[in-house]
Structures are given as structure tokens and as C-alpha cells.
Amino acid sequence: MWTCPACRTVRDGALQTALLNADFCCTGCGIAWPRVQIGSQRLPVLLADRQAGEAAARRCEAILGDLRHIGHLAHAEDEQVRADVEQLATWAAAHWGRFAEPPLPGPDLSWVRDWLPPELPLPDGPVAVLGCGPGAELGQVRMPGRELIAWDGHPLLVAFGLYLAEIPGDLVPYRQAPGRLGVRSLRVPESVREDLRGVRLACADALDPPLAAESCAAVLAFNLVDSVVDPFLLLQQCEALLRPGGVLLLSSPYNWQQTITPPTLWFDRHLPATMGQAAGVEALLTGQVVPGFLDSMQMERAADGVAWDLPVHPRFTAHYRLHIMRLRKAL
């Protein structure tokens, strides 16, 4: 199912790819891709910089094997380890804190099932989740009879989802206060753990998806479009992954950060002055603003101002308003 990031080429106007085998070795070039070992499962790290991916895989295994000492890891000499555990403490607690003892507050993901109901008509193929993080929303998007595939560019985050599926006696790191990390025990229901075990997970770049073109029935990207270097490329990749008749489900607060996305690529810079932001983005994503950009996509449903709160620590919660859109690729 996974394709080799090093073997993607365009030939005669078509994208050519090579598949990875069960050991995450390319059947074309023979490259063996790094992986994170979590219990009996392995998480492939399919990042273009294989050396950096190998180092990230080793950090993941070390951090997840030492979660009880997360406070010490937060002050490690290795700057990358410190950054990893800070990020894990924010997102793991937000995704899974409702199962902590005592519970931790987290964002409400219940809207996802309403936007992607099991009876929604779709072509054949799996459902893909880009930027899945630690994976709490994956249980909301399972569809009967369909494979669920998910990946994230931050290996420790997606590895934590695999950790929950594999390791009994779960722990979740969280921010006890600004600059102070701790852990709480988790009691994740076995049914939820079983759902996680059924997901095909990887660490990969959303801008360089590890799947063949037109291989997915649905593509989901929650709060990702404003967190990548090139949001236009992200959306083009989403469109390319979809089979004709497939569905793209997006949400975003458009909380652009100049350190991640160049201001020239913020959507607002490309919208007609006569349109509000939500209406302008909806026009942009259906080929009405930039000629040729997503002109195969049709809007099925949209809503603006949906509340989404991200607790960072007990004295700070980020309050966002999401713009949610469901689009369908033309037959």
C-alpha cells in the first residue's frame, strides 16, 4: 500500500510510483525505510530525509519507553528531544485526555461523525487521514468495510497512537503548568484500542503522500491546511489522492503562522475583495478563483464558526473557530 518517497517520478505526464514490501523496503530501488518499533508493531517513517527519519525513529522509541520520566526529558540536553516532548504533551493530552484519571479537557471531535456518516456514498477505496497526530479522531471516521489509512509528519505524535494500541497500562503526558510536564494514567476502552489496531499508520509528509494517485475514496485533513509550508500544494495532493466521486473533508481555523507558511501563500491574499473569508475560501477550493486550481471539486456542505478549543495547560486554552467543508471530486 505505501509507496516509496524516493521513487516518485513523472513519466509521460503521469506519476510513477513503487510500492514498499512488508518490511518497508522499496520494491523498485531497494531502499529500506526507517521504522519505529512499538510492541509487536512497526511504524514506517517515510520522510524524504531518511537520515533524519532514522534519528526521529530512535527518539520516538526512547521517549515512549520513558514516559514516566517525561519531566526530566523536557529538560534534556538534546534540543530536539525537548521540542518533541513539549509537542507530545500538548497533543497527546488534547487527543486522549478524556480517558485520563482524572480526565483532562480536550477538543470536541463529535462533529466529525455528522460530516462523514457511514451511509455517505463513496467510490471504492480506503479512507485516508492526513495530519492524524496521536489519532483520537480516527475512531470517529471508521466506515464499515473500508480500510483506514493515516499519517502525520511528526513521528512521535503518530507513534503515540500506535503505543496506545499496543502497550497495556497506558500513560499520557500533559502540561501541569507552563514549563512543567507530568503524566497521568489512561484507561482507554478496549474497543477504542481495537479500532486503533485496525488503522494502517505511518509517519509521512502530507505534501508528499505515500499513496498512489486516485487510490482513496475519502481524504480527511483536520486543522492541517494552516500548518504546512504550502497549503496550495497540500490541497492539490488531496485532490490527486481522490478517486472520481471521492470526498474531501477539511477543517481549519486559518491560524496562519509566518514561521511555517509564507504570507504569500495565506488564502486571504488570493481571495476576491468582495468576498468574506469563508465564502472566498469555498470559491477558491472549487476552481472559481485561481484558474485550474481544484476545478474538479464541488462543494457539498460548509459551515463556519464551529467552536474548537485546544487546552495547552490549566491556565491557557486556545479558542478557535473552524471553517468546515466537505467537497466531492467530479466523476
100-101, strands of its sheet edge to edge: 100-101, 180-186, 171-177
Contacts of 262-268 with CB under 8 Å at 24 or more apart are 262/229, 265/230, 265/231, 265/232, 267/231
Contacts of 77 (CB under 8 A, 6+ apart): none
Which H or E run contains 241?
Answer: helix 231-241
Residue 234 is which amino acid? L
Output the pLDDT for position 110: 83
Cell numbers representing residue 9 in the block = 517520478
Compute, in degrees rounded to 10, the torsion defined by CA atoms 160, 161, 167, 169: 80
- Tell me the sheet residues that pair with 42: 37
Output the pLDDT for position 15: 64
10-residue mean pLDDT profile of the chain (331 residues): values are 83 72 94 93 94 94 92 91 94 92 88 92 97 89 91 96 85 90 92 89 95 95 96 96 97 95 94 91 94 94 94 90 97 90
Q: What helix, strand, coil percent values describe the chain, rounded to 5? A: 30, 30, 35
Output the pLDDT for position 11: 57
- Tell me the sheet residues that pair with 130: 151, 221
Q: Are 96 and 136 in contact (CB under 8 A)?
A: yes
Structural domains of the chain sorted by starting position, each given as residue range(s) with its CATH number in brackets: 1-33 (no CATH), 34-329 (3.40.50.150)
Distance CA(263)–CA(240), nearest Å, equals: 25
- Residue position matching grid coordinates 521540542: 83
